[in-house]
């Protein structure tokens, strides 16, 4: 019997870390305010990182800190002092793509090293090289299939991690500079604007008109839900969900579904398409992706529900306090996502303002109160069918 792999979830902020653990993640990966590749995520201050690590330690779970931005020479002195501080906080691993950053991390800390997918590791020889340099784990390039993972495991005694869900990049494991040229923002230093998702036009300068429009590089999202038995059999140590900038509902929905699939090693009802996505493919986990992995006609995300908000506090006296992210109307049908149930369940009641006044319309980025309902807990998530 193969050991059950770790389920690794994205946590763009401290609240998402708590939600990921509550809904079944064994570990999370987080970014600090520097040296990560998600500049426009909320990210963690050093104090928030310490709180996140403390929460994980109490739960017997793990926090991995991303340091996979492509560092230039002028970054290194600041990185040294940053690493000295991180040693005192104690994340359970660093995710690193650069050999120089790895060298500094080994010199300044005792924290384990996971090699980022940005390093584009696709073979056993590269895995062995990173192991010789002190890496504990390699996060393989997204172009590596499950069968290739099995062969690498036989050749090198090192932990392997693969992505199983989330956005796919048009370039080889994220080494892309399109954003640099289209917007002046460095893709590999946290500034990607996802230019590959844009609608491109082919024009005829002589006729002065557009002749063709297409989303030529817009990759479908990765979904390996039906491959869970094969992934368990492969002996891969960690299965990773992408999405540090995605919503609370995305994190809860993806984590809870993969948690149940891993625990039962079966394929129960797959409701992963309910939350916004670009349609799905299996990426490179089965075979090299071709044109079937591109969503050419996409103009918007596909989804069955809108994420409405997060339950923050619950009490019989004061009701249910909800932080609203997406506006809605009191008469709208709402559903509740909870850790203990595979599908969203009905949520009834009319919201009122914090001043206890009726509302005709609920605005985004506001706080409202619903009547108390037995069983509702903090970090339950409210969604609305589209």
CA dihedral angle for residue 54, residue 55, residue 59, residue 64, rounded to 10 degrees: -80
Is 159 inside any structural domain?
yes
Distance of alpha carbon 37 from alpha carbon 251, whole angstroms: 19
| Domain harbouring 43, CATH code | 3.20.20.70
My answer on whether 319 and 259 are in the same domain is no
My answer on whether 246 and 378 are in the same domain is no
Distance of alpha carbon 167 from alpha carbon 243, whole angstroms: 7
My answer on whether 130 and 275 are in the same domain is yes
Question: For the chain, how many structural domains are there in total?
Answer: 2
- CB contact at 8 A, 139 and 116: yes
My answer on whether 241 and 347 are in the same domain is no
Distance of alpha carbon 223 from alpha carbon 250, whole angstroms: 13
Is 340 inside any structural domain?
yes
Nearest CA-CA partner of 197 in 221, 175, 224, 229: 221
Please provide the DSSP assignment of 244-291 as one string. TTS-HHHHHHHHHHHHHHHHHTS-----GGGS-BS-EE-TTSSS---G
Domain limit, last residue, from 252, 287, 322: 287
What are 112's two structure tokens?
A: 């384990």
The pLDDT assigned to 188 comes to 65
Q: Where do runs of H (alpha helix) occur along the chain?
A: 14-22, 46-59, 76-89, 99-108, 124-132, 146-155, 178-183, 228-234, 248-264
My answer on whether 248 and 363 are in the same domain is no
- CB contact at 8 A, 176 and 191: no
Domain limit, last residue, from 229, 256, 287: 287
Distance of alpha carbon 79 from alpha carbon 189, whole angstroms: 14
Is 212 inside any structural domain?
no
Is 142 inside any structural domain?
yes
The pLDDT assigned to 197 comes to 77
My answer on whether 265 and 325 are in the same domain is no
- CB contact at 8 A, 214 and 296: yes
My answer on whether 246 and 314 are in the same domain is no
My answer on whether 89 and 162 are in the same domain is yes
Is 1 inside any structural domain?
no
| pLDDT tens per residue across all 386 residues of the chain | 468 999 999 999 999 999 999 999 999 999 988 776 555 456 899 999 999 999 999 999 999 999 987 788 998 999 999 999 999 999 999 999 999 999 999 999 999 999 999 899 999 999 999 999 999 999 999 889 999 999 999 999 999 999 999 888 777 666 777 878 878 877 666 677 777 777 888 887 777 777 777 777 777 888 999 899 999 999 999 999 999 989 999 999 999 999 999 988 654 455 565 555 556 666 677 766 666 656 656 655 667 889 999 999 999 999 999 999 999 999 999 999 999 887 889 999 999 999 999 999 999 999 999 999 999 999 999 999 98
Is 84 inside any structural domain?
yes
With both helix axes pointing from N to C terminus, report the angle between 248-264 and 14-22 in degrees, rounded to the nearest 10: 30
What are 374's two structure tokens?
A: 């037995």
Is 173 inside any structural domain?
no
My answer on whether 283 and 226 are in the same domain is yes
Q: DSSP code of 373?
A: -
- CB contact at 8 A, 272 and 257: yes
Distance of alpha carbon 82 from alpha carbon 200, whole angstroms: 41
Question: pLDDT tens digit string along 134-146?
Answer: 999 999 998 899 9
Is 75 inside any structural domain?
yes
Distance of alpha carbon 67 from alpha carbon 32, whole angstroms: 8
Structural domain boundaries enclosing 139 = 6-166+221-287
My answer on whether 309 and 258 are in the same domain is no
Domain limit, last residue, from 287, 322, 342: 287
My answer on whether 240 and 375 are in the same domain is no
| Domain harbouring 338, CATH code | 2.40.30.10
Please provide the DSSP assignment of 298-334 as one string. -SS-B-SEEEEEEEEEEETTTEEEEEESS-B-TTS-E
Distance of alpha carbon 51 from alpha carbon 208, whole angstroms: 58
- CB contact at 8 A, 81 and 108: no
Residue with tokens 């290194």: 76
Q: Is the entire prediction scored with pTM above 0.85?
A: no
My answer on whether 272 and 324 are in the same domain is no
């Amino acid at each position: 019997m193969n050991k059950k792999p770790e389920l690794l979830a994205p946590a763009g902020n401290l609240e998402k870390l708590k939600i990921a653990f509550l809904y079944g993640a064994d570990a999370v990966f987080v970014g600090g305010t520097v040296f990560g590749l998600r500049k426009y995520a909320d990210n963690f201050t050093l104090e928030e990182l310490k709180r996140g690590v403390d929460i994980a330690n109490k739960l017997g779970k793990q926090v991995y800190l991303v340091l996979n931005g492509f560092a230039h020479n002028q970054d290194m002195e600041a990185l040294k002092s940053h690493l000295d501080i991180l040693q005192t906080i104690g994340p359970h691993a660093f995710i690193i793509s650069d050999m120089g950053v790895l060298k500094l991390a080994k010199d300044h800390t005792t924290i384990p090293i996971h090699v980022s997918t940005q390093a584009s590791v696709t073979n056993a020889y590269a895995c062995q090289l990173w192991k010789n340099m002190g890496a504990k784990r390699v996060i393989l390039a997204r172009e590596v299939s499950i069968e290739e993972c099995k062969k690498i495991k036989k050749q090198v005694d090192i932990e392997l991690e693969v992505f199983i869900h989330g956005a796919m990049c048009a370039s080889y494991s994220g080494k892309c500079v399109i954003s640099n040229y289209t917007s002046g923002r460095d893709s590999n230093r946290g500034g990607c604007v996802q230019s590959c998702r844009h609608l491109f036009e082919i024009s005829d300068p002589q006729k002065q008109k557009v002749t063709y429009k297409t989303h030529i590089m817009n990759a479908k999202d990765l979904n390996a839900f039906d491959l869970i038995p094969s992934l368990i059999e492969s002996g891969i140590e960690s299965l990773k969900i992408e999405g540090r900038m995605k919503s609370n509902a995305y994190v809860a929905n993806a984590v809870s579904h993969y948690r149940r699939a891993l625990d039962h090693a079966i394929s129960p009802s797959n409701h992963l398409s309910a939350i916004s996505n670009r349609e799905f493919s299996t990426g490179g986990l089965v075979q090299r992706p071709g044109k079937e992995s591109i969503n050419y006609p996409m103009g918007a995300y596909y989804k069955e529900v809108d994420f409405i908000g997060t339950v923050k506090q619950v009490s019989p006296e004061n009701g249910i306090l909800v932080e609203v992210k997406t506006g809605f109307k009191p008469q709208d049908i709402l559903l509740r996502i909870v850790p203990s149930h595979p599908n969203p369940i009905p949520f009834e009641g009319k919201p009122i303002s914090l001043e206890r006044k009726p509302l005709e319309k609920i605005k985004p980025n506001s706080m409202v109160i619903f009547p108390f309902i037995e069983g509702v807990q903090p970090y339950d998530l409210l969604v609305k069918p589209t």
